[in-house]
Each structure stands twice: as structure tokens, then as C-alpha cells.
Chain A
Amino acid sequence: MTDFAPKIRRSRLGWFLTYFALVLVAAIVLLPLVATALGGFKTLGELRTNPFGLPQHWEWSNYWSILSGPTYWRMLANSLIISGLTVFLALVVASMAAFCFAHVHFYGSGLLLNYFLVGLMFPAATAVLPLFIKIRDLGLLDTYMGVVLPQVAFALGMSILLLRNFFRGLPGELLEAAMVDGCGYMRFFWHVTLPLSKPILATVGIVQFVISWNNYLLPLILLNSDAKYPWPLGIMVYQGEFTTQWQLILAFITLTILPTIIVFLAAQKYIIAGLTAGALKG
């Protein structure tokens, strides 16, 4: 995203008010997050008496008890497996389909593309009960694949659209030249399209990873054993068990959002661009 700068003339007071407003909004945004992270270092009693300040005594045991147990790591691993598989399969399947829509002329291609785009119009929740029955009948209840396959299916609409639009933007002469060379569609796909499409593949991958990483409803319905729970389910179970032990729950929340925040800060450009581009072009 390139910055651009209309010449801005603001009075000294204007600047002050602008920054005052920005800092205020930023404070409101950050306050719950900071209070959560700090709360994890307090005792339950101190949460009441000192909700905003730094802990009087840094209670590392809250965090340590979570990090030293298996639950936290297990659910992160589950999330990683489920999201990783979802992204991989979605990219493979969607890019192949998108390639057909971008470069292969065939009867009914417009109609078929619209068929996939219908998936953009309604949330997964609408058909979640029949989906449950289907996964049960396929014997995939309480398996990673039982969650991954529907997630991939729901990812297809947006992924195909984004990829197809990008593929179409690739210079047409490339394909012509390749065809003259006697290079078939599949080799062209493998040797030309995919290598040239790394940015869009990254964008789609990021968008789908974030969606899958944060997904709650599908795993909630399709997984039973907490050994397979991804973190959004795991954290709800943890909260159910410790109910009012807020100091532990806050530490747990902090530890689960920490990976998200670190990755976000490290790759903010791509993530912001990915999520907004995903929305804009989708």
C-alpha cells in the first residue's frame, strides 16, 4: 500500500485535536488487550484492587502453569494441522479450477464459475446440521479431515475468484507462446502460471489460514474429543473449567492470541493487504 499525501493544512489546534482523537481511539482499542495480558500476571485478588496498573508482584506461575502443561501446546498443534491442511488443499484445488476458468474455454464456464460464487453469499452456519449428518455418514466425525474438507469447500468460492482474476491478468502472449512451443495446459500451469502467481497464492493462503485458524463453529460441531480440539474450542473448554479464576483465563487468552499478534506484526503488510484485498476483490 503506497502512501500518498494531499497537502494538508491544519492549524496547530487542528493537529492537536487530530492526534488527541487518534490516541484516544487507540487507547480504547488497546486497553482491553493490555489489561488482559497484565491480568494474567496478577492474583485474583489483585484483579479487583488493581485492574489497570502493572502487577505489584509479577505472578509468573499463571503463565508457567499453562506453558508447562500439555493442553496449550496440543491445541496449537491441532490448529496448525487443521489450518495447514486447509490452506494446502484449498490452494491446490482452487488454483486448478481457477486455471480452467482463466485460460480454458469450455462450454458453460461462466455458469460453472457462478455456481462456485454462490458459496460467497451465505455463511457455513446455514447448512451446518445437514453437514454434520454428512460428515457422520462419511465416518469423518471427530477427525481432522472432517473439519478440513468442509473448510476447503467453503474456501473455494473466494479462492477461485481471486486466483482466476489474477491468472487472467497474466499476459496472454505467454500462453500463446507456450502453446506454439507445444507446451500443454498442464505444463503451462505448473511451469508458468504457478511460479508467476506467488503473490496471489500467498494472499489467498493468508486469508484462508486466518479464517481457518479462527474458525469455531465447524470444529465445535464436528469434533468431539478434546485431544483434537483447535485452540478456539480449547480456550472455551478452559474457560468453562476455570470459570471465575480470571487470572488463569487471562493468561490463557494472552498465550493463545500471542502467536496471532506476533505473526501479524511480523507480516503486517501482507496480512492487511491480504485481508482487505481478499475482501475487495472477492
Chain B
Amino acid sequence: MGDETAEVRPARPERWIPGRAAKYRTVRGTAPVLILFLPPALLLFSIFVVLPIAEAARYSFFSWNGYNSPDNFVGLRNYLFLLRHAAFHTALINNLLVIAVSLVVQLPLALWLATLLADRIRGASIFRLIFFLPYVLAEIAAGLIWRFVYDGDYGLAGSIAGFFGLPAPYLLADPSTSMAAVLGVIVWKFFGFHMMLYIAGIQAIDRSLYDAAEIDGATRFQLFRFITLPLLGPTVRLSIFFAVIGSLQLFDLIMPMTRGGPSDSSQTIVTYLYSYGITRMRIGFGSAVGVTLFVICVVFAFTYRRTLMRHD
């Protein structure tokens, strides 16, 4: 740090990335600030995020229980097992189901409520608060609450069925209903978040558009169909993006309710990774699941951003 008077010198464009207009001029002290400010983030991120992914790729070719070091190279066997494992197929299908329910039930519900609550109608803010509340709760707590709701012996489901003279249902304990029960909770938990996204989107729409349309005598549905919906395009695409990414990392909510069971009927990719990789300490196999999930996430994120969200 030689000269300490830090006089402002003219920019030397050749030092910058070509083609980019330098917004600020260079100053002395560029090097020190980079050396001091960047490495903490860079190190943490590399060590705990990037490196583990690279290591997962390597471990996935080994059969390894985590003790000592990996020495039993098995090639693609972990991946082949994964591709043939019925429980993994169930997990993939369940993830797709979550996405489907998000698109078909949750997002329309959220959008409808958003159109109601974006208006300054009486009580709008209290309704928003209530609908957002499940999103703020931890998934573990929400899962436990719903485990109670669905419980056939002491829960609400049992009492409701009893009221109608029906036998107590055990929705979470039956392989044919467990995933449906989980899907219901997912809508309950997340629709408020999407609703808030839509409200923010609607409120960003230029009011004069509505005024003009109303003067032309447009109905409320027409306002929605021809103004709100098209202008909400970017928000909808973003909300779908979150729904998909959220589905791919679904874990906490499932654990207290079913742990992926019974008989793997409510596994998702991450609960599958937990049941078959982590609790059994099959580092290699679990890493193969992780790498598969990573590829799915990154491919989705890239193609989605490059195609549908390109202009947003």
C-alpha cells in the first residue's frame, strides 16, 4: 500500500472487463479490499457448499460406511441400484405430485385469494396475516400438528369421522392415503407464501390500466383476465419456480408425519436420501442420491431460467 494519499486517478479501461462501462473510477486500495473482504465468503462457500458437492460426486462411486476412507470402488453400481429401486421411483413420483398439486391447486388458490386481498377491503390485512402464518411456522412443528390432526385415536380426523359414525381413519398409516394427506398439508403450509408473492405483483401493476378498463365497462373477470393475469406473468413464473424447488427439497414436513412411510409411500427424494443413505451411513449410496438430486435441481433451474424466465 505505497502512496497513502489515495488520490483519484483516471480509470485505465484496459484493466476492466472489456465492454463494461466503469461506473466508478478506480482508486488505490482495490487490492486490499479484495484481499480482506472476499476470502471469508469464498472460503466458507467453497469448503461447505462447493467442495462437498464435488466430494459427493467422487464418493458416489464407492461403497463406503463412513469409517476410515473409501476404498471399495464400485463404479456405477450405486446409480444402477438407485434407478432400479422401487422406493426411489415412488420418491420421484411423489415429488412430481407435489409439483402438480402446487400448480393445479395451490397456485390458483393463492392467486384467487391475492386478487381478493390486494384490494383495500375491510379486514384484508388480518386475512393476509392469517394466511401467511403457516408459512412462518417451522415445517417440523407444522408436521407434528398435522400428525395430531390426522391421528385416528386422539386427533381431529378421528373425532370428525366419529361424529359422522364412520370408523376412525388412519390417513398417514395407510400407504394408499399417506401421500394425499401430506399433499393437503403442503397446500395448507405454502399457499400463503405464494399469495403474498401475487399480492406484491398485483400491487406493482399500474392502477391507471384498471381505471381505463373500467371506464370502458370491463367486468371484474375481464379485468383479471386481460390485465392482472398477463401482467402477473413474471410473478407466476417465479412462484412456479419456488414451488418446484420447494418440492425438490421437501423433508422437514414429512419427517414428523410419516418419515416417508408407510412402506415408502410418502418418500420424497430427500427423505429417501435420509432413510437409505444417512441413517444407514451408506455414504457412497447417499452421495449418489445427492448427486442425482443436484443434477435435477441444476438442470431444472438452468432450463427454467433460460427459457420461461428469460425476460423476467
- Chain A interfacial positions (CB closer than 8 Å to B): 1-10, 18-19, 21-22, 25-26, 28-33, 35-36, 39, 44, 47-48, 51-52, 92-94, 96-97, 99-100, 103-107, 109-110, 112, 115-116, 118-123, 125-134, 149-150, 152-154, 156-157, 160, 172, 175-176, 179-180, 182-186, 189, 210, 213-214, 216-217, 221, 232, 235-236, 239, 244, 246, 249-250, 253, 256-257, 260-261, 264-265, 268, 271-272, 275-276, 279-280
User: Known pairs A1-B200, A96-B40, A275-B135. 15 more at Cβ < 8 A?
Assistant: A1-B203, A8-B220, A30-B133, A52-B156, A125-B251, A126-B290, A127-B52, A130-B287, A156-B45, A160-B41, A180-B8, A184-B27, A189-B37, A216-B251, A260-B141
A-B contact pairs, 7 of them (CB 8 A): A6-B211, A48-B158, A110-B17, A132-B66, A152-B48, A235-B144, A239-B256
A153 to B133, CA, bound (A): 28
- Which of B83-91, B100-108, B171-179, B292-300 is near enough to bind chain A? B292-300
Cβ–Cβ contact A232 & B38, under 8 A: no
Cβ–Cβ contact B25 & A176, under 8 A: yes
Residue-wise, chain B 114-149 has the 8 Å CB interface mask toward A (1 for contact) of 001111110111011111111111111100111011
Residues in B whose Cβ lies below 8 Å from that of A154? 48-49
Cβ–Cβ contact A125 & B293, under 8 A: yes
- B159: CB under 8 A from chain A? yes
A105 to B27, CA, bound (A): 10
Residue in A97, A125, A279 whose CB lies within 8 Å of B38: A97
Q: Who on chain B is nearest to A134 by CB?
A: B52
Residues in A whose Cβ lies below 8 Å from that of B120? 3-5
Residues in A whose Cβ lies below 8 Å from that of B301? 120-122
Given contacts A8-B119, A39-B148, A153-B47, contact A51 B155 (CB under 8 A): yes
Q: Who on chain B is nearest to A5 by CB?
A: B120
A33 to chain B, nearest CB (A): 7
Residues in A whose Cβ lies below 8 Å from that of B79? none
Given contacts A129-B59, A260-B136, contact A105 B130 (CB under 8 A): no
Q: Is the interface of A mostly helix, strand, loop or mixed?
A: helix
Q: Give the residue among B37, B51, B223 with the most A Cβ atoms within 10 A.
A: B37
Given contacts A128-B278, A133-B283, A180-B8, contact A44 B154 (CB under 8 A): yes
Given contacts A105-B16, A105-B22, A156-B41, contact A134 B47 (CB under 8 A): yes
- B151: CB under 8 A from chain A? yes
For B, the interface residue count at a CB cutoff of 8 angstroms equals: 114
Q: Who on chain A is nearest to B201 by CB?
A: A280
Q: Who on chain B is nearest to A51 by CB?
A: B159
Residue in B48, B188, B214 whose CB lies within 8 Å of A153: B48
B183 to chain A, nearest CB (A): 15
Cβ–Cβ contact A276 & B270, under 8 A: no
A151 to chain B, nearest CB (A): 9
Q: Give the residue among A4, A149, A160, A239 with the most B Cβ atoms within 10 A.
A: A4
- Chain B interfacial positions (CB closer than 8 Å to A): 5-8, 15-17, 22-30, 32-34, 36-38, 40-42, 44-45, 47-53, 55-56, 59, 66, 113, 116-121, 123-125, 127-141, 144-146, 148-149, 151, 153-156, 158-159, 188, 192-193, 196-197, 199-200, 203, 207, 210-211, 214, 220, 223, 238, 242, 245, 248-249, 251-252, 255-256, 270, 273-274, 277-278, 283, 286-287, 290-291, 293-294, 297-298, 301-302
Cβ–Cβ contact A236 & B148, under 8 A: no
Q: Who on chain A is nearest to B48 by CB?
A: A153
A7 to B38, CA, bound (A): 51
Residues in A whose Cβ lies below 8 Å from that of B188? 28-29, 32
Cβ–Cβ contact B203 & A129, under 8 A: no
Q: Who on chain A is nearest to B30 by CB?
A: A104
Cβ–Cβ contact B146 & A32, under 8 A: yes
Q: 6 tightest A-B contacts by CB?
A: A123-B249, A127-B52, A153-B48, A214-B138, A97-B41, A96-B37
B251 to chain A, nearest CB (A): 6
Cβ–Cβ contact B298 & A36, under 8 A: no
Cβ–Cβ contact B121 & A8, under 8 A: yes
Q: Who on chain B is nearest to A183 by CB?
A: B6
B200 to chain A, nearest CB (A): 6
A160 to B37, CA, bound (A): 12
Residues in A whose Cβ lies below 8 Å from that of B158? 48, 51
Cβ–Cβ contact A179 & B140, under 8 A: no
Cβ–Cβ contact A97 & B42, under 8 A: yes
Q: Who on chain A is nearest to B209 by CB?
A: A6
